[in-house]
Amino acid sequence: MKRYEQTTLKQIAADLKLSVSTVSRVLAGKGDRYRISAQTADRVKAEAKRTGFVPNQIASALRLKRTHTIGLIIPDISNPFFAAVARQIEMEAARRGYFIILCDSRDSTGAEVEYLKLLQSRSVDGLIISPVGRIGAHLRGLRGNGVPVVLIDRYFPDLEAPYVTSDNYGGAYEAVTHLIEYGHTQIACVRGIAGSSTADDRLAGYRAALGAAGIDYDPQMVAGDDFSESSGYAAAQVLLKSKSVKPSAIFSQGNLITFGVLRVLDEKNLAVPVDISLVSFDDHYYASFLATPLTTVAQDKESIGRDAVKLLFRQLDQGVDKITEGIHVPTFLIKRKSVAYC
Amino acid sequence: MKRYEQTTLKQIAADLKLSVSTVSRVLAGKGDRYRISAQTADRVKAEAKRTGFVPNQIASALRLKRTHTIGLIIPDISNPFFAAVARQIEMEAARRGYFIILCDSRDSTGAEVEYLKLLQSRSVDGLIISPVGRIGAHLRGLRGNGVPVVLIDRYFPDLEAPYVTSDNYGGAYEAVTHLIEYGHTQIACVRGIAGSSTADDRLAGYRAALGAAGIDYDPQMVAGDDFSESSGYAAAQVLLKSKSVKPSAIFSQGNLITFGVLRVLDEKNLAVPVDISLVSFDDHYYASFLATPLTTVAQDKESIGRDAVKLLFRQLDQGVDKITEGIHVPTFLIKRKSVAYC
DNA sequence: TTGTAAGCGTTATCAG
DNA sequence: CTGATAACGCTTACAA
């Protein structure tokens, strides 16, 4: 806050005819260690309370080179998945006396790179990021400089940085296998943004499940550009309009995508699951109340957030290069009513 | 970031045998104003680029008493309403070169007060807050100190602080009137947290609509403790179990509440709208895909976020006491299929 | 056109 | 037990 007439150590010291160091030590809780007399300590505390002293963390940060701030860059805070993860991260950070600077990259690589630079000039102590593009290089530089970084949701195979993500491969495998068990062989996949580990791993899981069942993989069965509603909408349209392909089931890679798919289904008067079966990544309250309660692959957002913070602080404690671990948090398939026998 | 060997003005100055002030002036883009020769300016810029100089905003903030940071305190970032507002706020702030420190108060007054103190010690330049409790006193103190504050979603009638909120009264009035037009007279209201302007105004709108139609207000028709799903669930249960009251329609004050209500309806095998009609505050993608597409009161979250930032910066420019304006952003009723004739 | 020096508020080191 | 002093990195009068 604009600290108009904020009390400072110096003022308290002057008022009490003590030195700033003494006041600092008392107020920093180091009175005992420096054997400040109980008397002076009390006087100082009283004066601090009287004047409403609030320590200036900016000054402290400058001196200590520790801001107690961590930067959080995510593609879209209004996506329920990221909102839930962000919430968990904020809580875990707060518990440890850290603040979160929230940066919404709007799925733009440019914005992301810009944020990275700005956060650096804000001297954040660490960074949790769900990267949009392949900014491995940038991050490598940061890590090389000793800045702790944790990737969430998406990671780079070629960047030896710690990350936390769902077991996207396993989740997709389970979802598609579920579909196959219900007799489906013509299964479409509406994918997220190509090149992201999230979309790639889910696609790999999809292919593996198909393969395990002896079903040929057909690239025509895959569509979609990113994780947005509009991409889901467009993809579902081409999938359902196609002459060469006739899906009896759809595997959607994300919650927003699913809305797009549902919109197309709605427009075409296709009912779930009688006309077409549907499984979606990401779970939410609403999934059970949809026209057809949705079968979903739920992600453990709390664990993702918690583990991300844990990995970040471990780097802070033990050094950046000691931690390169990647965590794949298990998903779980919630069976509702959007899958029927083919 | 932990700026291990970060370049500083001093280093560049030493390398170039110039003074820090010169380097500072060039790199702050004030070369012209101080008539630094193009020559030296170029040398400085080149060296800055070569060494990857990033200005230390912490030092700058200490010197200038401006952190370019604004604190955002909200009750729950995973509530889609707040997530959307937060996103807008972040974007507007970023446009102006400001960062957002995100604080999730978990609807706890204690946490909120704590955050307030911490943000103060972080010297944020301003504060946007959706208050949980009646912390008017705290905020008054801040404003008295010249700290810009904007309230969102909820406001205090007794605090002359600027705020931005939906026209909750009007939105509720319209929703309930809509119900009445469909012949309902036994309309229950599942409310949010008592004492919040949001819940109070929506209740007032509800009562006014009833009154305008000559329907008596029955306190038994009102239940609910806060804006959570569990509160909605509990409230709907008492409402539907009650002997003294038989609602044919429900007006839910929030999106999470609505999930609770739906859960009860589901358990009791009550269908919307044939057995009971339902209107809910807050709109979302999912509302149109629910078993019964939901009639909702949509809030203009973008405007709320945008206006909040606008009011904040106006205070920054013109002084805190100049701005005390309250903005009520219009809502709009989206009619879908959850309301039927009684 | 450039340099000097003071100061933002804190903390750490050294001294007593 | 307490104090003086330097330093963190930057900005800005004031000088030259």
Decide if B160 contacts B166 (C-beta within 8 A). no
Residues of chain B contacting A121 with CB distance shorter than 8 Å:
54-57
Task: Kindly give, in sequence order, each residue whose CB lies less than 8 Å from that of residue B45, ignoring residues fewer than 6 positions away.
Answer: B26, B27
Question: Greater confidence, A302 or B141?
Answer: A302
**pLDDT of A129 over the 60 cut:** yes
Q: Looking at the partner chain, which of B2, B90, B229 has a beta carbon nearest the beta carbon of A65?
A: B2
Q: Domain B64-165+301-329 is of which CATH architecture? A: 3-Layer(aba) Sandwich (3.40)
Average pLDDT, chain A: 93
Question: pLDDT category, B56, cuts 50, 70, 90?
Answer: very high
CB contact under 8 A, B80 and A83: yes
What per-residue confidence (pLDDT) applies to B319? 87
Half-sphere exposure of A79 (CA within 13 A, CB side): 24
CB contact under 8 A, A80 and B84: no
What per-residue confidence (pLDDT) applies to A30? 87
- Over the stretch A227-281, which tens digit does the pLDDT of each residue have? 999 999 999 999 999 999 999 999 999 999 999 999 999 999 999 999 999 999 9
- Over the stretch B272-316, which tens digit does the pLDDT of each residue have? 999 999 999 999 989 999 999 999 999 999 999 999 999 999 999
Average pLDDT, chain B: 93
CA–C1' gap, A147 and C12, in angstroms? 24
B61 has which bridge partners? none
d(CA A338, CA A273): 5
Nearest nucleotide by C1' from A53 CA?
A: C9
CATH number assigned to the domain covering A9-55: 1.10.260
Nearest CA of chain B to the CA of A274: how many Å? 15
Share of chain A above pLDDT 70, in %: 98
- Which helix (H) or strand (E) segment is A96 a member of? none
- Which helix (H) or strand (E) segment is A131 a member of? none
Question: Greater confidence, A142 or B17?
Answer: B17
In the numeric block, the tokens 């930032």 are attached to B309
Q: What is the mean pLDDT of residues A80-105?
A: 97
Question: pLDDT category, B4, cuts 50, 70, 90?
Answer: low
Nearest CA of chain B to the CA of A262: how many Å? 8
Question: Which positions of strand D lie within 7 Å of protein CB atoms?
Answer: 1-13
- Over the stretch A305-340, which tens digit does the pLDDT of each residue have? 999 999 999 999 998 888 888 999 999 999 999 999
Question: pLDDT category, B153, cuts 50, 70, 90?
Answer: very high
C-alpha dist (Å) from residue B342 to B5, B183, B287? 73, 5, 22
What per-residue confidence (pLDDT) applies to B321? 83
Q: Is the peptide bond before A80 cis (omega within 30 degrees of 0)?
A: no
d(CA B306, CA B88): 6
Q: What is the mean pLDDT of residues B144-149?
A: 86
Please name the residue whose C-alpha is nearest to the C1' of nucleotide D6. A63
What per-residue confidence (pLDDT) applies to A59? 96
What per-residue confidence (pLDDT) applies to A157? 79
What per-residue confidence (pLDDT) applies to B146? 84
Q: What residue in A sits closest to B293 (Cα-Cα)?
A: A291
CATH class of A168-299: alpha beta
d(CA B290, CA B310): 36
Residues of chain A contacting B65 with CB distance shorter than 8 Å:
2-3
Q: What residue in B sits closest to A65 (Cα-Cα)?
A: B2
Q: Looking at the partner chain, which of A127, A266, A290 has a beta carbon nearest the beta carbon of B291?
A: A290
CB of residue B89 closer than 7 A to nucleic acid strand D? no
Q: What is the mean pLDDT of residues B144-165?
A: 89
What per-residue confidence (pLDDT) applies to A6? 84
Residues of chain A contacting B84 with CB distance shorter than 8 Å:
78
What per-residue confidence (pLDDT) applies to B338? 97
What per-residue confidence (pLDDT) applies to B2? 45
**pLDDT of B1 over the 60 cut:** no
CA–C1' gap, A260 and C11, in angstroms? 56
Would you say the CATH fold of B168-299 matches that of B9-55?
no
Question: Greater confidence, B16 or B1?
Answer: B16
Lowest mean per-residue pLDDT among A66-75, A211-220, B153-162, B246-255:
B153-162
CB of residue B64 closer than 7 A to nucleic acid strand D? yes
Q: What is the mean pLDDT of residues B135-150?
A: 82
Task: Kindly give, in sequence order, each residue whose CB lies less than 8 Å from that of residue B342, ignoring residues fewer than 6 positions away.
Answer: B182, B183, B184, B185, B248, B249, B277
Nearest to B138 by CA among B101, B111, B107, B165: B111
Nearest CA of chain A to the CA of B292: how many Å? 7
Question: Which positions of strand C lie within 7 Å of protein CB atoms?
Answer: 1-5, 7-13
- Over the stretch A44-57, which tens digit does the pLDDT of each residue have? 999 999 999 999 99
Residues of chain A contacting B102 with CB distance shorter than 8 Å:
72, 86, 90, 100-102
d(CA A1, CA B140): 13
Lowest mean per-residue pLDDT among A22-31, A139-148, A185-194, A330-339:
A139-148
Decide if A235 contacts A223 (C-beta within 8 A). yes
B190 has which bridge partners? B223, B252
Nearest CA of chain A to the CA of B3: how many Å? 7
What per-residue confidence (pLDDT) applies to A3? 41
Q: What is the mean pLDDT of residues B261-270?
A: 96
CB contact under 8 A, A102 and B72: yes
Decide if A203 contacts A172 (C-beta within 8 A). yes
What per-residue confidence (pLDDT) applies to A276? 97
The full set of domain ranges for chain A reads 9-55, 64-165+301-329, 168-299
The answer to whether the Cα torsion of B37, B40, B43, B44 is positive or negative is negative
Residues of chain A contacting B67 with CB distance shorter than 8 Å:
58
CB contact under 8 A, A80 and B80: yes
Interface test mutation site (partner B, options A1, A5, A85, A120, max chain B beta carbons within 10 A): A1
What per-residue confidence (pLDDT) applies to B3? 42
Nearest CA of chain B to the CA of A186: how many Å? 25
Does the reported pTM lie above 0.85? yes
Q: What is the mean pLDDT of residues B49-54?
A: 92
CA–C1' gap, A63 and C12, in angstroms? 10
Nearest nucleotide by C1' from A44 CA?
A: D2
Alpha-carbon torsion, ordered A154, A155, A157, A159, to 10 deg:
160
Share of chain A above pLDDT 90, in %: 83
| E strand spans, A105-258 | 126-129, 149-152, 163-166, 187-190, 222-223, 249-252
CB of residue A123 closer than 7 A to nucleic acid strand D? no
CB contact under 8 A, B86 and A102: yes
Residues of chain A contacting B104 with CB distance shorter than 8 Å:
87, 90-91, 94
Q: Cα–chain-centroid distance for residue A144? A: 23
CB contact under 8 A, A102 and B90: yes
Question: pLDDT category, A2, cuts 50, 70, 90?
Answer: very low
Q: Which two tokens stand for residue A253?
A: 């890679």
Decide if B251 contacts B175 (C-beta within 8 A). yes
3-state secondary structure chain B: CCCCCCCCHHHHHHHHCCCHHHHHHHHCCCCCCCCCCHHHHHHHHHHHHHHCCCCCHHHHHHHHCCCCEEEEEECCCCCHHHHHHHHHHHHHHHHCCCEEEEEECCCCHHHHHHHHHHHHHCCCCEEEECCCCCCHHHHHHHHHCCCCEEEECCCCCCCCCCEEEECHHHHHHHHHHHHHHCCCCCEEEECCCCCCHHHHHHHHHHHHHHHHCCCCCCHHHEECCCCCHHHHHHHHHHHHHCCCCCCCEEEECCHHHHHHHHHHHHHCCCCCCCCCEEEEECCCHHHHHECCCCEEEECCHHHHHHHHHHHHHHHHHHCHHHCCCEEEECCEEECCCCCCCC
Q: Which two tokens stand for residue A119?
A: 């956060």
Q: Cα–chain-centroid distance for residue A80? A: 11
**pLDDT of A136 over the 80 cut:** no
d(CA A70, CA A51): 31
Q: Looking at the partner chain, which of B78, B90, B145 has a beta carbon nearest the beta carbon of A104?
A: B90
Residues of chain A contacting B289 with CB distance shorter than 8 Å:
259, 262, 266, 286, 290-291
What per-residue confidence (pLDDT) applies to A4? 53
What per-residue confidence (pLDDT) applies to B86? 98
What per-residue confidence (pLDDT) applies to B138? 78
